[in-house]
Amino acid sequence: MSEPIWEEIYEKLPTRADQRDERFAMFDTFDPNGNGILSLAEVDKAIRDVLAIDEIFDAKPAIMRAFQAAKACGKGRADIGDDYIEKLEFKRFLLGLRMYFEYWVAFKRIDEDDDRRISFEEFSEAEEIMKKWITNFGDLQEEFDTIDENDGGMILFIEFCKWAIAKSLDLEDDDE
């Protein structure tokens, strides 16, 4: 994974309050059939074709987490079910995409063998860099055990995200 160009990512994700019109226009480009809702497949395709940021497109787990978070926070229309996000949930999706992408970058920096799991050895080797991202980093083994919720001996991305949120993880190079 190449290192992300954070400035480009921020420019392409209209999440500020004053960017509502830009965000709604982006939603419309993400919604090719114009039905006012987005499936995960539509979002995935639009990230590739509209945003055109390969690093995000290649971060499928981050896209999925952001999509799920947007659905969970939205009120949702009863007639469309739980498999879509609406225009008013789109800002939440973009905010989530930015956050979960940052966590994906951090996760990938630790996951040295690229198997989408972090072993205790990988976690140990990354201790110093993690201390730059998290101010209240505790005992190495305790942190690992806390993150590994399913006691599988490996940290999965979803487990890492829960921990990162609780610890307010912030990469040193993302300038935000």
For the residues of 74-116, what is the DSSP string, one character each?
Answer: S---TTTTTS-EEGGGHHHHHHHHHHHHHHHHHHHHH-TT-SS
Confidence of residue 18 (pLDDT cuts 50, 70, 90): very high
- pLDDT given at position 53: 86
Every domain of the chain and the residues it spans = 6-107, 114-167
Strand, helix or coil for residue 4:
coil
What's the whole-number average pLDDT of the chain?
Answer: 90
SS3 content of the chain, % helix, strand, coil (to 5): 60, 5, 35
Assigned CATH for 114-167 = 1.10.238.10
Confidence of residue 47 (pLDDT cuts 50, 70, 90): very high
From 169, 176, 162, 168, select the one nearest 68 (Cα to Cα). Answer: 162
The CA–CA distances, whole Å, from 109 to 99, 129, 174 equal 16, 9, 14
* Domain 6-107: CATH superfamily, name plus number: EF-hand (1.10.238.10)
- pLDDT given at position 9: 86
Specify the DSSP element, H or E, that contains 29. Answer: helix 20-30
Q: In terms of pLDDT, which residue wins out, 53 or 141?
A: 141
pLDDT tens digits along 53-79: 888 888 999 999 999 999 887 665 555
Q: Both tokens of residue 22?
A: 């830009």
Total-model pTM? 0.89
Other CB atoms within a 10 A radius of the CB of residue 152 amount to 10
What percentage of the chain carries pLDDT values higher than 90? 74
Domains 6-107 and 114-167 share a fold: yes
Question: In angstroms, rounded to a whole number, what is the distance separating the alpha carbons of residues 33 and 107?
Answer: 35
Task: Return contacts of 27-33, CB within 8 angstroms, 24+ apart.
Answer: 27/87, 27/90, 30/90
